[in-house]
Chains A and B, each alone.
Chain A
Amino acid sequence: GAVVSQHPSWVICKSGTSVKIECRSLDFQATTMFWYRQFPKQSLMLMATSNEGSKATYEQGVEKDKFLINHASLTLSTLTVTSAHPEDSSFYICSVRGQRGSSGEQFFGPGTRLTVL
Chain B
Amino acid sequence: DAKTTQPPSMDCAEGRAANLPCNHSTISGNEYVYWYRQIHSQGPQYIIHGLKNNETNEMASLIITEDRKSSTLILPHATLRDTAVYYCIVRPPGPGNMLTFGGGTRLMVKP
Contacts and interface: CB of A to CB of B under 8 A. Distances in A.
Contact of A111 (B41, B95, B96): B41
A113 B41 CA distance: 9
A44 B37 CA distance: 12
A111 B100 CA distance: 17
Band of interface residues on B: 20 to 34
Majority secondary structure of chain B interface residues (helix, strand, loop or mixed): loop
Interface in B77-95: 87, 93-95
A103 B43 contact: no
Interface of B: 32, 34, 36, 38, 41-46, 49, 51, 87, 93-96, 98-104
Majority secondary structure of chain A interface residues (helix, strand, loop or mixed): strand
Contact of A44 (B32, B46, B93, B101): B101
B43 A93 contact: yes
Interface centre among A31, A43, A111, by most B CB within 10 Å? A43
Contacts of B104: 43
Interface stretch (A11-19, A66-74, A78-86, A94-102): A94-102
Nearest to B48: A105
B46 A32 contact: no
Given A32-B96, A46-B100, A97-B95, A106 B46 contact: yes
Closest 6 CB pairs of A and B: A108-B43, A44-B101, A43-B101, A108-B44, A102-B93, A111-B43
Given A43-B101, A43-B103, A32 B95 contact: yes
